[in-house]
Structure 1
């Protein structure tokens, strides 16, 4: 038996056309209402970001802070504490100390009449003269892994950790009673145990031995032929004993206190524009933006990405996402905040651009490497998207109705 659709439900019948249009309109409206909170966007809203302190990231609570003078001063103080002079201190120059791998030149002299070294003079004519002091021809030798060298008529001498002057006295004491008024001169020909490594964007990477003069950071860069890039775009990283700090090269040049004295084993790395931040949201350009080692303020960062979009951005929603050093936060906050695996605290800094002092704060606040700069959409932008969707759907319904009539 064939089932027939009642004529009044078909589009050809006036009543069926009206019902069909109402059904289509209701279906589209229901779809719009069910999806009105799912309009496209470039990220969370201002309210969602401000509520982030109730959520978690990497098992650590997120701190949301407004950028004011107190916050900026704490961040600046924490940055100052990471400078070379504060991290490594002032190391006074020290005397040359012999270590394993160093090459020594040892000369031993004996006053006339020579007893031990009477026939070892280089010049036979001097050896024939009993009134001329004679010297022993001792080849240069490398300090062994055990820290010793060998001296004729003295034997093995422990020289590691001693100065050349101390080794001279040991040799003279060992020759006492054997040689006639012995004298010794010890010279470090190659000092590999007291050296620093210079690499990166320099003319020639090398190892530079340290002397008792007390070479400084800029001495090492000069010894490597200088940097290959402009000074204003260079940063210098100094690693010593498990600690690492990085500073702009132009700051080291401008502030003599940051030109610290080097220590054996230091690694100096010259870096060219190693920093970048990521810009997202309602800005003119979403991108990863590199910046110079000399630093970048928040105001400069906004300028480099073309500023906020007038048609989308919320003036209340400029945020900087950062994994912050605990020293940059108030003690009561740092004491209770949970931290990431590397000991940092997730922080969101908020700048309210509707405030008249916001641009001053933006000039004082410094962007750091790997910061995320995010600008949220204005609430009316989402409402405008809703109106556009409703408008497009309404015209679609009218078009369907006209086609059915």
Structure 2
């Protein structure tokens, strides 16, 4: 009996804090909120899911410009590179690489003035030339001393050009530009791939002071090679973390949380499950809302999707409804009849989330 009385006493003392907290308190000016002017409202139904699915699936896109660049690619020698020059049948003109010297140590270094020194020929300007052009110059000059010289020129060490990888890759640092074309996808692979917290949709390439954003997600999942590019000397590639690519689960769930969107999508069902599911004691099954920033051209503040989750069929729809970065999932305890005023309270928070995201992107692009 004492234990029962104690439970009744605790319940009476905590009632003031538990019951008011089961819904968002409504401000006086919420009654003046015109929801039709501010938001687009949709019910999550089979027809809505079918409408999204009816949109044509993206097909793999061939980047013809990239293919042409790769076909016409030829490395140009520059200061700091080391050349390996061979004149056949004339070993006195070829410095062999012995067991104690690598080809780069035995080669001809391109000096800071862009020249190399070669016997009989003297100084030769090679900076900015292809190996085929250097070979032709040496053959012509050696022909004065050797009959029909056979000359071969290769790059023993590529030291003059590089690209920089920063951010969420497993091995950030520099990578050399060589005689093999280096693309964005190959550079990321050479760096060990992306980390677990990388944002696959936010890969920025800074070139000559201009920044362009690419999406490896579109490249990997849909084969859109337009998201790939041939890298050039001094390019800076930065892979952002997925701190901004989040969805937020709030309200009457067992564990309000934020979830990162990685390489794969997150559905509404997954977001609810990862947040511990509904609070069965006070959650309103018809009060599951997804609040999303509306397209700029719509003139609206947000788009609101409502799920009627009273039966298992609704959970199937939730598993087919894909969330987007910065979506807010809100489960309310308030009756559905009050959801108009409820959304009026949530929208300022939603707008703040979108504003913070926009500011972060502007700061990233400016850097």
Q: TM-score range by the shorter chain?
A: 0.5 to 0.7
Distance 1:190 1:52 in 2: 66
TM-score by length of 1: 0.52
Match of 1:350 in 2: 305
Shift of 1:109: 3.6
* Residue 166, structure 1, aligned to residue 121, structure 2: no
Shift of 1:164: 1.8
Which secondary structure state, in structure 2, belongs to the residue aligned with residue 285 of structure 1? coil
- Over the aligned positions, Cα root-mean-square deviation in angstroms equals 5.0
Q: Which runs of 5+ in 1 are unaligned?
A: 1-37, 56-61, 113-117, 124-136, 327-333, 339-344, 383-405
Distance 2:249 2:32 in 1: 16
Distance 1:300 1:181 in 2: 74
Q: How does 1:1-400 map to 2 (within 5 A)?
A: 41-42=23-24, 51-52=34-35, 54-55=37-38, 62-67=39-44, 68-69=48-49, 72-73=52-53, 91-92=66-67, 93-94=70-71, 95-98=73-76, 100-101=78-79, 103-105=81-83, 107=85, 109=87, 139-142=108-111, 148-151=114-117, 153=121, 155=123, 157=125, 159-160=127-128, 162-173=129-140, 177=144, 180-192=147-159, 195-200=162-167, 202-214=169-181, 220=187, 223-225=190-192, 236=200, 238-240=203-205, 242-247=211-216, 252=220, 263-264=231-232, 265=235, 267=237, 269=239, 275-290=245-260, 292-323=262-293, 336-338=297-299, 347-353=302-308, 358-379=314-335
Shift of 1:300: 0.3
CA 1:302 to 1:75, structure 2 compared with 1: closer, same or farther past 3 Å?
A: farther
CA contact (8 A) 1:110 1:180 kept: no
Distance 1:303 1:50 in 2: 32
The size of the alignment, in residue pairs, is 291
Q: Which runs of 5+ in 2 are unaligned?
A: 1-19, 97-105, 339-367
Shift of 1:208: 2.5
CA 1:274 to 1:179, structure 2 compared with 1: closer, same or farther past 3 Å?
A: farther
Shift of 1:301: 0.3
Distance 1:48 1:304 in 2: 34
Structure with higher Rg: it is 1
Which secondary structure state, in structure 1, belongs to the residue aligned with residue 66 of structure 2? coil
CA contact (8 A) 2:22 2:282 kept: no
CA contact (8 A) 2:184 2:231 kept: no
Shift of 1:350: 0.5
Distance 1:178 1:49 in 2: 96
CA contact (8 A) 1:274 1:293 kept: no
CA 1:74 to 1:99, structure 2 compared with 1: closer, same or farther past 3 Å?
A: farther
